[in-house]
Chains A and B, each alone.
Chain A
Amino acid sequence: MEGITYLFLNAMTVASILMVVGLGLAIIYGLMELINFAHGEFVTIGAYTLVAADLLGGSFWMALLCAPIVGALFGILMERVLIRYLYDRPLAVILATWGVSLIIRQGIQLTFGAKGFGVSDPLVGTMSIVGVEYPVYRLFLIVTALSIMATCYLIIRYTRFGLDVRTVIQDREMAACMGINTRRINLMAFSAGSALAAIGGVLIAPLGNVLPHLGLGYLAKSFFVVIVGGVGNIAGVAAGSCLIGGLETFFNYHIPVSLSQALVLILAIVIVRYRPQGIIPK
Chain B
Amino acid sequence: MSKKINRREALKTIGAAVAISATSFGVPTLLKAADTIKIGFMAPLTGFGALAAPYIQRPFELAVEQINAQGGAGGRKLEFVTEDTQSSTKGTIEKTRMLIGRNKVDVLMGLIYSMERKAALTVSIPNNKLLVYPTFYEGDECNRNLICTGQIPNQSIDKFVPWLMQNVGKTVYILGSDYLWPRTCTEHIEKAVKASGGKIVGVEYFPFGTYDFAPALLKVKDVNPDMVWTMVVGSDTSTVIKQYRSFNLKPQLVSNAVDEMWATFMPKEDLTGIISDQSYFMTRNSSANSVFVKAYQDKFGVENGLIPALAEAMYCGTWLYAKAVAKAGSTDNEKVVKAISQIQFDAPQGPVSIMACNNHMRTNSLIGKTREDGLFDILADQGMTDPNIPNCSL
- A and B found bound together: yes
Residues of chain A at the chain B interface (Cβ within 8 Å):
6-7, 10, 13-14, 17, 109, 114-121, 124-126, 133, 135, 137-138, 204, 206-209, 211, 213, 217-218, 249, 252-253, 256-258, 261
A121 in contact with B207 given A126-B247, A258-B178 (CB within 8 Å): no
Closest A-chain residue to B215, C-beta based?
A252
Select one of A7, A116, A138 contacting B235, CB under 8 A.
Answer: A116
Closest-by-CB residue of B relative to A218 is B211
CB distance from A136 to the nearest CB of B (A): 8
Asked whether A217 lies within 8 Å of B211 as measured between CB atoms, the reply is yes
Tell me which residues across on chain A come within 8 A of B246, comparing CB atoms.
121, 124, 126, 135, 137-138
Task: Looking at the assembled complex, report how far the CB atom of A82 sits from the nearest CB atom of chain B, in whole angstroms.
Answer: 15
Choose among B211, B238, B270 the residue that contacts A204 (Cβ–Cβ < 8 A). Answer: B211
Please name 18 further chain A to chain B contacts, defined as beta carbons within 8 Å, in addition to the given A114-B53, A118-B267, sorted by A numbering: A6-B218, A109-B46, A109-B50, A115-B50, A116-B265, A116-B266, A118-B242, A133-B248, A137-B246, A207-B212, A208-B211, A208-B238, A208-B242, A211-B51, A211-B235, A217-B211, A249-B214, A257-B216
B205, CB-defined interface residue at 8 Å:
yes
- Closest CB pairs A-B (n = 5): A114-B50, A118-B266, A208-B239, A115-B51, A252-B215
**Sampled A-B contacts (27; CB under 8 Å):** A6-B214, A10-B218, A13-B212, A13-B214, A114-B53, A115-B51, A116-B51, A118-B238, A118-B242, A118-B265, A118-B266, A118-B267, A121-B246, A125-B248, A126-B248, A206-B242, A207-B243, A208-B238, A209-B237, A249-B212, A253-B215, A256-B178, A256-B204, A256-B205, A257-B204, A257-B206, A258-B206
Considering residues A6, A7, A114, A258, which has the most beta carbons from chain B within 10 angstroms of its beta carbon? A114
Flag if A249 contacts B215 (CB, 8 Å). yes
Tell me how far the C-beta of A123 lies from the nearest C-beta in chain B, rounded to whole angstroms. 9
- Nearest residue in A to B271 (C-beta to C-beta)? A118
Given A125-B248, A209-B266, A258-B207, also A116-B216 (CB < 8 A): no
* B209 CB-CB contact with A under 8 Å: yes
* Candidates B48, B212, B269; contact of A10 at CB < 8 Å: B212
Q: Which residue of B lies closest to A124 (CB)?
A: B246
Bound-state Cα–Cα, A124 to B246, Å:
7
Considering the complex, which residues of chain B in the window 46-72 have a beta carbon less than 8 Å from any beta carbon of chain A? 46, 48, 50-51, 53
- Chain B interface, number of residues (Cβ within 8 angstroms): 35
Residue of B nearest to A206 (CB): B242
Nearest chain B residue, comparing its CB with the CB of A14: B212
Decide if B264 is an interface residue (CB 8 Å cutoff).
yes
Q: Smallest Cβ distance from A216 to chain B, in angstroms?
A: 8
Q: Enumerate chain A residues within 8 angstroms of B236, measured Cβ to Cβ.
A: 208-209
Whole-angstrom distance between the alpha carbons of A117 and B212 in the complex? 18
Interface residue B219 (Cβ < 8 Å from any Cβ of A): yes
Is B210 in the interface zone, CB < 8 Å from A? yes
Min Cβ gap B47→A in Å is 8
- Least Cβ distance of B384 to chain A in Å? 32
Q: Contacts of A261 on B, CB cut-off 8 Å?
A: 207
Which residues of B are found within 8 Å of A14, using beta-carbon distances? Answer: 212
**What's the minimum C-beta distance from B245 to chain A, rounded to whole angstroms?**
8
**Chain B positions within 8 Å of A124 at CB level:** 246
**A114 x B51 contact (CB < 8 A):** yes
Taken residue by residue from 213 to 256, chain B's Cβ proximity to chain A (1 for < 8 Å, 0 otherwise) reads as 01110110000000000000001111100110011100000000
Contact across chains for B247 and A257 when beta carbons are under 8 A apart: no
B235 to A207, Cβ gap below 8 A? no
Complex contacts, B215 vs chain A, CB 8 Å: 7, 10, 249, 252-253
CA distance A217 to B242 in the complex (A): 19
- B178–A257 touching, CB < 8 Å: yes
What is the bound-complex CA distance between A213 and B47, given in angstroms?
9
Chain B 328-354 against A: per-residue CB contact (8 Å), 1 yes, 0 no?
A: 000000000000000000000000000
List B115-132 residues whose CB lies under 8 Å from chain A. none
Quote the shortest CB–CB distance from A210 to chain B (angstroms): 9
Determine the residue in chain A with the shortest Cβ distance to B209: A217
Q: Are B214 and A10 in contact (CB under 8 A)?
A: yes
List residues of chain B with CB within 8 A of the CB of A109. 46, 50
Contact of A115 with B212 in the complex, beta carbons under 8 Å:
no
Within the complex, the shortest CB–CB distance from A230 to chain B, in Å, comes to: 24
Question: Are B204 and A115 closer than 8 Å at their CB atoms?
Answer: no
Tell me whether A115 and B264 are in contact (CB under 8 A).
yes
Determine the distance from Cα of A121 to Cα of B239 in the docked complex, in whole angstroms: 12
- A257–B248 contact, CB under 8 A? no
**A121 contacts B242, CB within 8 Å?**
yes
Most chain A CB inside 10 Å of its own CB: which residue of B214, B218, B236, B247: B214
Complex CA distance for A173 and B350, rounded to whole angstroms: 77
